[in-house]
């Protein structure tokens, strides 16, 4: 039986997909999850979607799908979807300035001239598109540079990203990359490839870690593994040409939470069982679209989030074990001697509302004596730095500028 073409239905679906990429169609309740997964690729890969849609429309046009009243209406809707995809890409390309504005506001208008004195920032770079970025790990990670940092099997593996010509005695600055995934995925691949390929090309060493995840494992195993990875890096990264005295940390979503918590609890024995004496401090932290509050149950998505933590991550009722949730919240761990922070969030994040990033940045600025930069990516969904899109590369640039500024200013102090 030959299936009858339904051009109008298909055009409506394409239009809704594009509209969801322009602005999330839902921001309340569990519907935000499918809305995110549908809108996320669209908001970062609009040219690829347009190309695929246009080629398919040409094929369907040749077979007559757009004849008649319904066909013409379908073509008009499809063309409207293409226009929305063009708007998405235009916004994506123009996202560099807002990211840099947050750095200038926190570090001063001349920060760029300071960060440019960092040796890694002066190195050549190689920029990849969406497809090539997915293969960038093969340029910088060899079989021998996948290491085991802890005793928990594959959950404690890490990839070391470095240029093959990097000298082993070069003392390159180091970034530990903590993956996201709702504390339930934690894969070291393929997150933050635009950032790590950019930094590695510029002469940095990046360590992309995995960690134990829920529901198989229970909090605080996640942060313990991050601390253990930091301890391993401090003890071993010199063998790969890295500087153990310059280790920064970054991560998105759940990785943003773990990044902020690790940076605000250096050498805390609560999260270092069996390695209490290890140095787990960092020189800078870059949490991206993170969760910083594990205890508030009012607000958009908050009741669902607390229910998720109680059932799958902490596995304890917050009413009886509230202190554990408070301890796990970076916003309760603010301290004057916090390292420099660069906090990033997307304004259209339908998983973690941008207000949470704003609140954390504001609270940290009121306490910390170090710089706290905060930037918002306009119209960006959750996980906006995942792909090698223009916004993904602009984000990588902004983070590299911040870290190179920290590297340059720290060198002056030392």
Taking the CA of residue 334 as centre, how many other CA atoms within 13 Å lie in the half-sphere pointing to its CB?
A: 17
Give, as one character, the DSSP assignment of residue 339.
Answer: P
Phi, psi angles (nearest 5°) of residue 300: -60, 120
Question: Residue 131 has what pLDDT?
Answer: 45
Domain that holds residue 201: 96-293+329-413
Q: Mutual orientation of helices 32-44 and 7-22 as an angle, nearest 10°?
A: 90
Dihedral sign computed on CA atoms, order 299, 301, 307, 312? negative
Residues 167-195 pLDDT 10s: 998 899 999 999 999 999 988 888 999 99
- 120 and 234 both lie in a single domain: yes
Residue 125 domain-assigned (yes or no): yes
Number of domains in the chain: 2
Question: Residue 39 has what pLDDT?
Answer: 85
Residue 341 has pLDDT above 50, yes or no: yes
Binned at pLDDT 50, 70 and 90, residue 144 comes out as: confident
Residue 121 has pLDDT above 60, yes or no: no
- 142 and 51 both lie in a single domain: no
Indicate the SS3 state at residue 79.
Answer: helix
Q: How many Cβ atoms are within 10 Å of 1's Cβ, its own excluded?
A: 3
Question: Residue 63 has what pLDDT?
Answer: 83
In percent, the amount of the chain with pLDDT more than 90 equals: 75
| Boundary-marking domain end, from 58, 93, 128 | 93
Range 306-312 average pLDDT = 97
How is the chain split among helix, strand and coil, in percent rounded to 5?
Answer: 50, 10, 40
Residues 221-230 pLDDT 10s: 999 999 999 9
- 108 and 223 both lie in a single domain: yes
- 47 and 120 both lie in a single domain: no
| Boundary-marking domain end, from 78, 93, 108 | 93
Which residues make Cβ contacts (< 8 Å) with residue 2, sequence separation at least 6?
Answer: none
Question: Residue 3 has what pLDDT?
Answer: 55
- 264 and 379 both lie in a single domain: yes
Range 129-134 average pLDDT = 50
Edge to edge, the sheet with strand 157-161 lists 146-148, 157-161, 205-209, 172-178, 242-252, 285-288, 341-346, 372-377
Which DSSP string do the residues of 172-236 spell out, in sequence order? Answer: EEEEEEE--STTS---SSSTTHHHHHHHHHTT-EEEEE----TTTS-TTHHHHHHHHHHHHHHHH
Binned at pLDDT 50, 70 and 90, residue 133 comes out as: low
> Is this prediction's pTM over 0.75?
yes
Residues for the chain: how many in total?
414
- 77 and 133 both lie in a single domain: no
Binned at pLDDT 50, 70 and 90, residue 127 comes out as: low
Indicate the SS3 state at residue 365.
Answer: helix
Residue 14 domain-assigned (yes or no): yes
Phi, psi angles (nearest 5°) of residue 86: -65, -40
Range 372-385 average pLDDT = 95
**Bond prior to 376 in cis (omega within 30° of 0):** no
Task: Given the residues 197, 253, 350, 389, select the one marked as catalytic.
Answer: 253
Q: Mutual orientation of helices 254-264 and 221-236 as an angle, nearest 10°?
A: 60
| Boundary-marking domain end, from 93, 118, 148 | 93
Binned at pLDDT 50, 70 and 90, residue 231 comes out as: very high
- 172 and 183 both lie in a single domain: yes
d(CA 372, CA 301): 26
**Which residue stretches of 63-167 are H helix?**
68-93, 96-107, 111-115, 130-133, 137-140
CATH code at position 238: 3.40.50.1820
- 400 and 360 both lie in a single domain: yes
d(CA 125, CA 161): 15
Per the annotation, the verdict on 152 as an active-site residue is no
Round the average pLDDT of the chain to a whole number and report it: 91
Q: How many Cβ atoms are within 10 Å of 64's Cβ, its own excluded?
A: 11
Distances (CA, A) of 69 to 5, 7, 66, 74, 75: 14, 11, 8, 9, 10
- 20 and 150 both lie in a single domain: no
Residue 272 domain-assigned (yes or no): yes
What is the DSSP pairing of strand 172-178 with strand 242-252?
A: parallel
- 58 and 81 both lie in a single domain: yes
Per the annotation, the verdict on 89 as an active-site residue is no
Task: Given the residues 257, 345, 382, 407, select the one marked as catalytic.
Answer: 382
Question: Residue 69 has what pLDDT?
Answer: 87
Residue 111 domain-assigned (yes or no): yes
H or E element at residue 373 = strand 372-377
- 56 and 124 both lie in a single domain: no
- 249 and 101 both lie in a single domain: yes
Indicate the SS3 state at residue 267.
Answer: coil
Task: Given the residues 225, 349, 385, 397, select the one marked as catalytic.
Answer: 349
Question: Residue 136 has what pLDDT?
Answer: 72
Whether 378 and 91 have beta carbons less than 8 Å apart is answered as yes
Residue 205 has pLDDT above 90, yes or no: yes
Whether 85 and 94 have beta carbons less than 8 Å apart is answered as no
Residue 306 domain-assigned (yes or no): no
Residue 254 has pLDDT above 50, yes or no: yes
* Most confident stretch, 50-64, 261-275, 398-412: 261-275
Give, as one character, the DSSP assignment of residue 125.
Answer: -
Per the annotation, the verdict on 349 as an active-site residue is yes
Range 116-145 average pLDDT = 64
Residues 34-91 pLDDT 10s: 888 888 889 999 999 999 999 989 998 888 888 888 889 999 999 999 999 999 999 9
Range 185-209 average pLDDT = 92
Residue 165 domain-assigned (yes or no): yes
Which DSSP string do the residues of 279-306 spell out, in sequence order? Answer: ----S-EEEES----SS---STTHHHHH
Residue 30 domain-assigned (yes or no): yes
Question: Residue 134 has what pLDDT?
Answer: 54
First-last CA distance in the chain: 76
Residue 364 domain-assigned (yes or no): yes
Using CA atoms in the order 19, 21, 22, 23, what is the torsion angle rounded to 10 degrees? 90
Binned at pLDDT 50, 70 and 90, residue 132 comes out as: low
């Amino acid at each position: 039986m030959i299936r009858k073409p339904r051009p109008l239905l298909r055009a409506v679906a394409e239009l809704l997909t594009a509209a969801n990429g322009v602005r999330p169609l839902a921001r309340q309740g569990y519907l935000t999850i499918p809305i995110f997964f549908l809108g996320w690729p669209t908001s970062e890969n609009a040219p690829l979607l347009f190309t695929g849609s246009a080629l398919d429309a040409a094929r369907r046009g040749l077979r007559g799908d757009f004849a008649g009243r319904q066909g013409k209406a379908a073509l008009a809707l499809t063309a409207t979807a293409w226009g929305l995809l063009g708007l998405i890409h235009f916004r994506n390309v123009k996202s560099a300035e807002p990211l840099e504005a947050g750095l200038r506001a926190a570090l001063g208008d001349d920060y760029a001239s300071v960060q440019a004195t960092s040796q890694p920032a002066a190195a050549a770079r190689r920029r990849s598109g969406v497809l090539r970025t997915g293969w960038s790990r093969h340029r910088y990670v060899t079989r021998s540079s996948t290491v085991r940092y802890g005793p928990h099997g594959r959950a404690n593996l890490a990839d070391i990203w470095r240029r093959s010509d990097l000298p082993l005695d070069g003392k390159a600055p180091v970034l530990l990359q903590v993956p996201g995934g709702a504390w339930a995925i934690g894969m070291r691949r393929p997150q933050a490839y635009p950032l790590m390929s950019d930094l590695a090309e510029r002469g940095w060493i990046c360590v992309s870690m995995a960690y134990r995840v829920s529901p198989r494992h229970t909090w605080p195993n996640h942060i313990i593994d991050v601390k253990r990875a930091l301890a391993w890096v401090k003890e071993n990264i010199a063998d790969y040409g890295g500087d153990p005295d310059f280790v920064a940390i970054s991560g998105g979503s759940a990785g943003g939470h773990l990044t902020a918590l690790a940076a605000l609890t250096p050498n805390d024995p609560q999260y270092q069982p069996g390695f209490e004496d290890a140095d787990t401090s960092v020189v800078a932290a870059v949490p991206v679209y993170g969760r910083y509050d594990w205890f508030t149950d009012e607000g958009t998505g908050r009741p669902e989030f607390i229910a998720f933590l109680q059932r799958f991550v902490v596995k304890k009722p917050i009413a009886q074990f509230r202190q554990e949730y408070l301890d796990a919240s970076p916003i309760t761990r603010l301290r004057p001697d916090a390292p420099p922070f660069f906090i990033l969030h997307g304004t259209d994040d339908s998983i973690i509302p941008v207000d949470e990033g704003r609140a954390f940045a504001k609270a940290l600025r009121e306490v910390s004596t170090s710089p706290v930069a905060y930037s918002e990516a306009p119209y960006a969904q959750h996980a906006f730095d995942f792909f090698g899109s223009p916004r993904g590369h602009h984000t990588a640039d902004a983070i590299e500028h911040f870290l190179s500024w920290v590297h340059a200013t720290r060198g002056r102090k030392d």
